[in-house]
Structure formats: C-alpha cells, structure tokens
Chains A and B, each alone.
Chain A
Amino acid sequence: MRISDLLSICARNLTRRKFRTFLTVMGVVIGTSFIVMMISLGIGIERSNMRMLETWGDLTMVTIHNQGNTETPLNDTAIEAIRAMPQVQAVTPVAELRLDNVNVVLTAGRGGRYEWWGGWGIVGLDPAALPYLGYDMREGDILPVNEDGTRVVRMMFGERAAYNFQDTRRRWPNNMIEVWNVMPGDPLPDPFFNPMEEQTIRITLSSWEQDSRDVEFEVEVVGVMVGSWDFNRPELMDGAVMDVADLQRMIAEFNRANSIRPDRNAVEGFDMARVKAHSIDDVADVEAAIHAMGFPNTQSMEEIRQSMQEAAQQIQMILGFIGGVALFISSLSIMNTMIMSVYERTREIGVMKVLGCHLGNIRSIFLIEAALIGFIGGVVGNALSALASFALNAYVMGNAGGGMMGMGMEPMPVSVIPLWLMSLGLVFATIIGLVSGIIPALRAVKISALEAIRTE
C-alpha cells in the first residue's frame, strides 16, 4: 500500500467516530499542554533566577579578599599566576585609596567650592582588565591605559559620584543634592557641576599631624559609568575608578613628602582582586584554583547560583513528572480507543485479509491512527500551552509593575516555551500515541481472515 492511501484510510477511520476521536485527542491535548506548561514554568523560574543574580553581580566574577592573610601575599606575581589560568579572561587588583591618618579630599569648582570628603568607593584597578569587567559608560570613555605618561590622574566616575560633592558656600540642607531615593533608570537631578566638563578637579591627600605636607594631583574625569546595585562594585554608583598605578604613585608621593617609611613588617600586596572567568561553567574551577594558591577567601555568585539552579531543576522535575503522569493517562485512553476500534472493525480487518492486504499494512493502519491521535493532540496541546503561557505572562507581568520587583528588575515572564520544548512536546505526544498503538495493532494483525466469512 502507498503511504498516501494508508494515511487517507487512517484519517477516514478517525473521522468516522468523530466524538470518540475528539475525546481521545483531548486527553493528549491536556497531557501535552500540561507537560509543556510545567516545563515552561521551570524554565521561567530558572531564567528569572539568573536575571536576578545578574542584577546582583556578574555571575562570572570571583572576588578575592586577602586582608589579614599574612602567609600568602596577593602581589603582582600572584596576579600574574591567576591571569595565566586558561579559564581566566581578566584579572585586576583592587586597591583602595586608604592610608592611616590620611584624609582624601576631592575639590572642584572655582576656589575649590565643591568638596568630596573621604573618597570612599574610589578604587584603583588595572585599566587593561577593565574592558572585560563589564563597565558600561553612560558618558565619555572607559578608563584608558596610561600610554602618554601624563601625571594627571584620570578617573571614571560612578553614576552618582558627582552627588558626593557638597557646596561649601551653601548651608544645610541645600549644600547637598539627595539622590538616594531615585530609582535606577529614573532621571537624576542636575549635579552642582558636570564632572566631564569641569576643568579644575583636584585630589588632595593630607594628614592631621602637625607639619605635615599635603600632596595634590590634578584629576581628569574621562567618563561616567552606568550605575548598578552590584554589591561587589560600589564604585559603579557612588565611587570612581582610577588606574592602580596612579593610586600607588599618589601614596608614594605622599609618603615621600612626609618622610614616611613603609612599615617593613606590613604585608605587601593588595587586599583584594577581581577575577573574571570566561564562562559561568568555569567559575567553580577558577575559584578552586585560587583556593589552591593559598587564597581561601573568595566570593562569587557560584554557590548561590548553583543552589538556585538545583532548586529550579527540582521544581522542573516535579512539574515535568506531573505532566508525564497526565500524558501517561492519555496514553491509556489512546490504547483503550484503539482496542475498541480493533474490536469494532474485526470484520473489516477480516475482509481486508481475505482481499490480500498485507499484515504489515494492517499493523501500519492502527499504528498510524494511534500516532495521528498523538500528533494532533500534540499540535493542539502546543497551541493551548502557548496560549496559556501568553495569558499567564500577561497577567503576572501586568501585576508586577513596581513593589517587590523594583531594584532595577523589569518583570520577567514566568512561563517560557522555547522552540525545542514545542518540538519535544510534539514528538513526545506522537511517540506516546505510537507506543499506545502497538498492542491494538498486534491484536488487529492476529484477527483471522475467517472473521469476514462469519455471519452474525
């Protein structure tokens, strides 16, 4: 028999008992849409977990804390060794502009009218590593590697660093512009001055001690970064980034001006470093390698990411299992329908055998009919779950305008149906149909040709 004839005979048989076929198909529809919806919810959970973690920080970043570690210094040699690891894309030391008994003040405006005391959040990084570390610029350029040998201290400011300056000519509360309550993405008020255009920004290191000498450096702001609530990188919002070499030079000059000798017993090296892995999957390896080097104190999103992923996978498994049970029940219903159909068509099958229909063709007819039920159920089930998914997402995202979801997150879809899930649903439903058809098909093949002769 030709495939086209087989298919048309099957289609005819299915349409002969429309309501029964409809009911059986509905079983598959429910099963398929159940399993697709369940898995899609799992994927939705996993994706929004990832997004949430991403807003907390770069998932491929490992931060090394080495303060107080007197055994292994986090010096240039160590940094180079980390850079040499194959899974590491970039590494930078993180130095803070911090010295005992030293005040840091940035001034700007005519006569140093605007002052930023303390300089908290200003970090020295390796400019060569910056392009890999996810610094997005709101204005201007990323901090360049110092190739021209300028002694001007170049900085890129955090999104809100300009609001750290207070106007010394005004009284409280007008001497500050408050921005802490402005949501990310919302428009910010104008600062007292635009740091990108200001020509007269300086940074001064000074000491309270008598006869101490201040050292002062000219500052050029090359860019302003896009802010983020990355807990590991406060510089993005309120701080600033400068070349770690400039930072070391400033401290050295201050020490020289005040004849301070570095403490010989003090631990050399940096307190902190940031390591960027090539991909999320490398993070665990990189972290382990760093531990092996003698830096036990590292921090990354890896652990929390993994535990969240495990939780999401568990939910997905449970949901998928429920869907599987639904599909299993629908397979019983297909089998029941097909066995009924074989029973009803006993005489017909006998006649076909007498007329010389090959056993393989009879088997195919029943298998194809069962597979068709599965296939149609799969198609409709996919359509139904796409619809349900759309409605669910529209509902949830419509309800999640602000509130909890604030903190820089747009609402995420709760149900995600990728193409592979659709195809999987369809293939699975068809296979379920086919498998459910095996027993009925074998029964059909066993029917004797004499059934055609028998008179009722």
Chain B
Amino acid sequence: MHIYVPSVGAHHSLGIQPICAAQHSIAGEVMQDSAAIISVRQLTKVFRVGSEKVVALNDVSFDVPKGQILCIVGTSGSGKSTLLNQLAGLEKPTKGQVLIGGKNISAFSETRLAGFRQKHIGFIFQSYNLMAAMTALENVSMPLIFRGMPRKKREIAAKRILGEVGLSERAGHKPSQMSGGQQQRVGIARAFVATPKIIFADEPTGNLDTRTTVEVMQMMIRLCKQYNQTLVLVTHDTEIAEYADRIVTMRDGVIVEDRVNVKRAEETKEETNPGAGEKGAKDET
C-alpha cells in the first residue's frame, strides 16, 4: 500500500544524522529507506471491562513509509490513542502485528522493547510529562542518560536541540518555571535529541492555545523534515491535520479514510525537490 514517498533522495544520507549514526539500522538490520518503516497488519485490540468487550481497534492495516508525517484523526473514543500505543509498543495487541523496520515488535519482550524504544523511538506527550525536579537541559538529556552517554557529550547534544526549539535561555529552568508552550518545546527537544527514526505524538498540542499550537506544530514538522524522520501524530483537530503529508481518519476502531494531504505534498515537493512535482503526483496513484 505504497501511497506516496515524500522528499525521497534529499534527506536519507547517513551524514545528516550526526548524533546517532546507527540510526539506519533497526535491531541490527539495515533498513531500506523506500520500504515502509511501519507496517500494521490486521491489528485488533479488545479491552475487557468486566464482562463487556470494547473493540478499540478492529482489524486495522496500513503502512507508513520512512520520512512521512502521518496524522491520525477521529472523534473521541475512535481508537486513535490505542493505535498509537500499539505502534510505540506500549501495549500488546490482541491480534495482528506491528512491524517496525521489518521486526514484529508485538512479539518483543519488555526488556527488548525498552532497548528498541531507546534506540529508535521518540515520544511527545499531551501533558508534556517533564521530570519536575529536573531542569530543561536535564529533561532533554534523559534519553541520552538512558543510553549511558557521558555527561559532556550529551549536554552538547541537548543544548544544541534546545537551541533549535528556541529555548537556549531556559536550559536551567525547571518545568514549573515555564509556560505550557515552552514545556512542550522541551518535550519535543527530548523526543528529538537522540535523533530517533520514528516520533510518536499523542495530542501534542491538546493543552496549548492556537498561536502556540501553530508554533509547536511547525517546529515538529521542521525537525522531522530536517533529519528525514517519520512522525505519527494523533489529534482530533482537523486544522492540525493539515500539517501532515497524509491523514488517516478513524471511527469506531477502523480506518474510514486514508488520504494524502495534497496541499502539503505540493509544498514539500517544491521546497525539497523543485521540478519533480509531476513525477511524485503520478506515483501517488
């Protein structure tokens, strides 16, 4: 189900990802950029509440190619978060598979999943989830601390990414000393600091006002495009969805619509690969 591969060729060389050169290999295997980085196969998730069964995901299948910005939209309770949790390996599916870089992460042990997330996944939360006792710099460093990176090296990386989200001056501030928008920018920096292959975000702008939402969204998109990272974003705000390359709409645990955001695609192509727009549009069908 190869729909559209945006900006292929411009951003996938090794040299562009300076912090973690091993990014191209997931679980020891070199991945091919053009192949789907995420493959969802007949994914079903059923919750049991007492004697009742809630089918949160019902036989969902789709592929996400590398470098795509995918937005999952839908009404409340449609199963967006549930889907995202399965993709990030936070929860085991009832049936089906989630393949990331060809590996069935649904079959991974907890320990292996932790290592997998550490190496390849970034996560942005709706409620920021920063460590209250830590400064912005330390919060951003967390994923690198988990990797056992030495202090000096990780602080250089953390400072650089804090600069990219425009918070150099706030490096020494605690979360309680920052606005929601600033906190979410710290959260974004934390998700990107280790240059993971894939970033998941569940309602990242859910707690922000319109102006800040625009700021935060643009920042995420910019960072993703910069290193050709894949972003899977959950929201119920259709305006936000317009930032994505592709929009998947869910209802009652099934995908009811899966479309390419043509407007965005045109923009991207013009930015990254002027003159190749015609060809990309043909690929789409």
Interface residues of A (CB under 8 A from B): 1-2, 4-5, 12-13, 16, 347-348, 351-361, 448-450, 452-453, 455
Contacts and interface: CB of A to CB of B under 8 A. Distances in A.
A357 B118 contact: yes
Interface stretch (B33-41, B109-117, B251-259): B109-117
B115 A358 contact: yes
Interface in B178-220: 190, 202
Given A355-B142, A357-B114, A453-B202, A2 B150 contact: yes
A447 to B, nearest CB: 11
A5, A16, A357, A453 pick with most chain B CB within 10 angstroms: A453
Contacts of A356: 114-119, 121, 143, 146
A448 B146 CA distance: 18
A354 B133 contact: no
Nearest to A358: B114
Contacts of B119: 356
Interface residues on B, range: 20 to 34
B129, B134, B202 pick with most chain A CB within 10 angstroms: B129
A351 B129 contact: yes
B124 to A, nearest CB: 10
A112 B148 CA distance: 97
A352 B147 CA distance: 12
B85 A453 contact: yes
Given A453-B90, A455-B126, A355 B150 contact: no
B51 to A, nearest CB: 23
Contacts of B88: 354
A5 to B, nearest CB: 5
Q: Which 5 A-B pairs have the closest CB atoms?
A: A356-B118, A356-B117, A449-B90, A351-B129, A357-B146
A357 B190 CA distance: 14
Given A2-B150, A16-B133, A348-B131, A359 B110 contact: yes
A338 B126 CA distance: 28
Interface of B: 81, 85, 88, 90-91, 110-111, 114-119, 121, 123, 125-127, 129, 131, 133-134, 142-143, 145-146, 148, 150-151, 190, 202
Contacts of A13: 133
Contacts of B143: 355-356
Given A354-B117, A355-B118, A355-B142, A2 B202 contact: no
B57 to A, nearest CB: 15
B115 A355 contact: no
Nearest to B194: A356
A449 B90 CA distance: 6
A355 B190 contact: yes
Q: Is the interface of A mostly helix, strand, loop or mixed?
A: helix
A355 B125 CA distance: 11
B114 to A, nearest CB: 5
A47 B150 CA distance: 53
Nearest to B84: A453
Contacts of A351: 125, 129, 131
Nearest to A361: B146
A12 B133 contact: yes
Contacts of A16: 133
B244 to A, nearest CB: 21
Contact of B118 (A348, A358, A450): A358
A355 B146 contact: yes
A448 B91 CA distance: 9
B102 to A, nearest CB: 20
B126 A450 contact: no
Contacts of A354: 88, 90, 117, 123, 125
Given A2-B150, A358-B115, A359-B110, 12 more contacts: A1-B145, A2-B148, A4-B151, A351-B129, A354-B123, A355-B123, A355-B190, A358-B118, A449-B90, A453-B81, A453-B85, A453-B90
A4 B81 CA distance: 36
A376 B111 CA distance: 32
Nearest to A357: B146
Nearest to A354: B123
Contacts of B125: 351, 354, 452-453
A5 B129 contact: no
9 contacts: A5-B148, A354-B88, A355-B123, A355-B142, A356-B114, A356-B116, A359-B114, A450-B85, A455-B127
B161 to A, nearest CB: 14
A195 B150 CA distance: 83
B1 to A, nearest CB: 27
B91 A450 contact: yes
Nearest to A9: B145
Contacts of A353: 114
A12 to B, nearest CB: 6
Nearest to A6: B145
A450 B85 CA distance: 8
Contacts of B202: 453
A5 B145 contact: yes
B111 A358 contact: yes
Contacts of A453: 81, 85, 90, 125, 202
Contact of A359 (B111, B127, B145, B190): B111
